[in-house]
Amino acid sequence: MSSTLVEYKIDIQKIREEFPILDQQVNGKQLVYLDNAATNQKPQRVVDALVYHYQNDNANIHRGIHTLAERSTTAFEETRKAIQGFINSNEAEEIIFTKGTSESINLVASSWGRKFLNAGDEVLISTMEHHSNIVPWQMICEEKGAILKIMPINEAGEIVIEEVKKLLSEKTKMVAFNHASNTLGTVNPVKQITKMAHAVGAKVLVDGAQSTSHLEVDVKDLNVDFFAFSAHKMYGPTGLGVLYGKRDILEKMPPYQGGGEMIKDVSFEGTTYNDIPYKFEAGTPDIANVIAFKKAIEFIEELGKDNIAAYEHELLIYATEKLAAIEEVKIVGTAKDKVSVISFTVEGVHHFDLGMWLDAKGIAVRTGHHCTQPLMEHFCIEGTARASFSVYNTHEEIDAFVKALKDIISKFK
C-alpha cells in the first residue's frame, strides 16, 4: 500500500457539523462510526431535501401536468443529469434508477443475460465479489446453460491478471467484477481488465458500490459497458441505486419488469416499450430519495474527490499502521491499492465477540462474512471484523478504536 501522503483540504469540523447523527453517545460512550462500507451517514442537506420534498412538492412524476407534478418531475430528472455529470456518461438517458447495486446487477443479468447468453457461453467474475455480483450470474447461467468462471486472487487480495488472460476466450460474453472490494478494500484495475475483456468481444459490468464515494469514476474513460452503484454508500438515501449502461447496449436489451412508465402504448394485442431509461423504470420510482440524492452528489463534489481520496487514504494508512502493530491482529487484504476499508481477525477472539465488545465502547464496526462467503473460503476463515472510513472520520476516532481493541484483546488473554 502506498504511504505517500497527498495534500488535501478538509475542514473536518465543518464536515462533521453536517452530520448531527455522529454527535451522540452509544452505550454511554461517544459514537465512533466505522461501518461506512455498509452504509455511510447522510449530511443534513440530504435529510432536509427529503423533508422539503414531502412538505412542498410531493406528486407522482412524468404523468401529471399540474404544478406539483412538474416540480417533482423536474427535480427528479435533475438528479439524473447530476449523476450523468458525476460519472461522466455521454447522456442522462444512460442513467437508470434502481433500488441499489443489487437490483442494477440483477437487471443486467436478467435482461441482457436472457437475450445474449447461450448454452456454453462463459461469464467471468472474481473471487472477491459481493454475493450481489455472484448470485444473479449463477441464476442466469443456470437458466441458459452458461458457465460461470472465476478470476483468482493472490494472498494480498488482488486479481491475478496473468490468470485472467488465460480465462478469457471468445466464449467469454460477460466480465463482471467490483471496482473496489467491500471486504478487502482492494481497488481493481478496471481499465486494464476492461480492455482485455473487450479484446475477446465480452461485455464488462463493474460493481461500483464501494468506489463511487471514494474514487474518481469516469465511465467514458473506464470504457465499461455497465456500472452499478448504490446511493446509500455515497451519503445518499437507502433503497436507491443506479445502473449506467451504454446506449447501444441498453437499447438492444428487453425490459426488466413490466408496468406503468416503461411503455409507449399498451393494447391487449401487444405493447410497445418506452425509450431508455424509462423502459427499465417500471412503476413509481423512489421520487423523494432520487431528489435528495442530488444533495449527496453535491456534498461529494463540493469536497472534491481528490481531497476525499487523499484524506481517506491518510486515515487508511494511519489505522493500518496502528492495527499492524498489534501482535494478535491479522489484516485480511493487503493490496497495494486500497480504499479505506480494513478487514482483520484477532487471534483468540471471535469476530462477533469483537463487534459486540467494540459496540459496548461506542464503536460501530461490521463483523461476519460481509456477503463475500467465497472470499472467506479462499482465506480459510469464517469472517472478519471490518473498519471502514468516510470523510467525516478522524484520527482521534481511530485512536479510540485502537485503544478499545487493545483493551478487549487484553481481557481475552
Binds ligand 7TS by CB under 6 A, chosen from 10, 26, 31, 38: 38
Query: Rounded to the nearest whole angstrom, what is the least distance from the CB of residue 139 to ligand 7TS in the complex?
Result: 16
Per the CB < 8 A criterion, the answer to whether 370 and 293 are in contact is no
Range in contact with ligand 7TS (rule: CB under 6 A) among 20-28, 53-61, 195-203, 207-215:
207-215
Output the CA torsion 195→196→199→200 (10° steps).
-140
Looking at 237-285, which runs of residues are DSSP E strands?
A: 241-245, 263-267, 270-273
Query: Does residue 100 interact with ligand 7TS by CB under 6 A?
Result: yes
Please report the DSSP string for 51-85 in residue order. Answer: HHIIIII---SSS--SHHHHHHHHHHHHHHHHHHH
The interface mask with ligand 7TS, positions 232-251, x = CB under 6 A, is ---------x----------
Which has the closest alpha carbon to 345: 361, 320, 367, 318? 367
We find the least distance from the C-beta atom of residue 39 to ligand 7TS, in angstroms, to be 7
Whole-number Å distance between alpha carbons of 293 and 268:
38
Of 21-29, 130-138, 274-282, 355-363, the segment contacting ligand 7TS by CB under 6 A is 130-138
**CA 124, CA 152: separation in Å to the nearest integer?**
10
If one asks whether residue 37 binds ligand 7TS (CB under 6 A), the answer comes out as yes
DSSP bridge partners of 126? 151
In contact, 20 and 259? CB cutoff 8 Å: no
Nearer to ligand 7TS, 383 or 409 (CB): 383
Shortest approach of ligand 7TS to residue 230 CB, angstroms?
3
Is-catalytic flag, 371? yes
Helices (H) and strands (E) counted in the chain, each on its own, are: 15, 17
User: Residue 351 interacts with ligand 7TS (CB under 6 A)?
Assistant: no
Q: Does 127 bind ligand 7TS (CB under 6 A)?
A: no
178 near ligand 7TS, rule: CB under 6 A: yes
Point out the catalytic residue in the list 263, 310, 371, 381.
Answer: 371
Annotated catalytic residues are: 371
Residues that bind ligand 7TS (CB under 6 A): 37-38, 100-102, 130, 132-133, 178, 182, 207, 209-210, 230, 241, 366, 370-371
